[in-house]
Amino acid sequence: MLKVENGIIEITEKFTSLGIKSLDSKDRIVLGGKVKKTLSKKMRVDAFEILVGEDGDVLLRPVASIPSREAWIHKNPKALKQIVRGLKEAKKGQIEKVVDLNEFTHRL
């Protein structure tokens, strides 16, 4: 669960330990294949948001970048809902051949 208030993010979530990593000579941590493999089963990851808790705990939240030309869709819940519905229908084989794109889009 995620709650944001006054710039503070409150996170209630269960975590799984994937081991302990030491800092290298340049104060870096290499996450390694185990983390990548675990995350890639659920999502695409381009970067990590870094969160620090009151007690010093560090949380790396996976982030996937979205091309700027596609970002609008995530700001338009109605369009996003239609796309998700269309993808589900296509997966089920519920497709329709469009002859006239203008006529088709005016029906929506």
73 and 54 belong to one structural domain: no
Render the burial of 5-40: b for 16+ CB within 10 Å, e for the rest.
Answer: eeeeeeeeeeeeeeeeeeeeeeeeeeeeeebeeebe
DSSP assignment letter at 38: H
pTM of this prediction? Answer: 0.55
Domain of 89, in residue numbers: 68-107
Share in percent of the chain as helix, strand, coil (round to 5): 35, 20, 45
Specify if 48 maps to a domain.
Answer: yes
77 and 59 belong to one structural domain: no
pLDDT, one tens digit per residue, over 23-68 is 999 999 888 888 888 888 888 888 889 988 888 888 888 888 888 9
84 and 103 belong to one structural domain: yes
